[in-house]
Structure 1
Amino acid sequence: MLNKGSKLNSILTGSCPKCHEESMYLDKNPYHIFSIFKMHDTCSHCGTHYKIEPSFFFGAMYVSYELGIAFSVAAFIISYVFFKSDLKTSFLSIGLTLLLFMPIIMRLSRNIWINIFIHFDKDWKTKI
């Protein structure tokens, strides 16, 4: 499931979507806020350009919105249904969840967005 070649591997690890050999990001830790968006320009293994066009990652905002909704629904269900908290506390848990997971949501949205357009190529070494 998380083997090289699967989209899920590239999305969760932030690795190059074409070869899965290296991280796209200069700093793998998304909680280093000042370097959260700093990426390599190209993959040092297969030469894939990560910024396909100017402002390419603006499209990741749409994915980020959907991920935010998914995290919010999960936080609400966990808080309201499982812990039986009141409505006010449940909505507070949504806000805290979004605040705590914001760096992860930002990275995941970029990873998902680039994986929509660039696909794994098992023969990338022969095409260099």
Structure 2
Amino acid sequence: MTGTPHRLPAALAALLGGAGVLHFVAPRPFIGIVPRSLPRPEALVALSGAAEIGCAALLAVPQTRRVGGWASAALFVGVYPANVSMALRSTARGSRRPVWYRVVAWARLPLQAPLVLAAVRVARRA
């Protein structure tokens, strides 16, 4: 994610805000990727959705942008195990996921690093 100093926080806020809302509007896909070793997937999805909305709000306000950037970076790192779980489950024996889903699931993994770096950049520039 690149852009001017004002566009990057707005882009991250939009991404996080949209994803956060989806956690509440359509939670099933998110519940399905919570690692099986974690308890109460429904509660974790609600918690991560609220965290995403909170990070989006922090990024949207210049006075809280530094905290929002660091919180967003931590959140991106924290949800990474769910992305790994999604990728692994998509190619597990017996999985009936279509090929496009498998490609997206695995392609998401390296995309997390630029998101973390973008959030750190926002925090440092704030």
Scaled by the length of structure 2, the TM-score of the pair is: 0.32
Higher Rg: 1
Whose helix fraction is larger, Structure 1's or Structure 2's? 2
Scaled by the length of structure 1, the TM-score of the pair is: 0.32
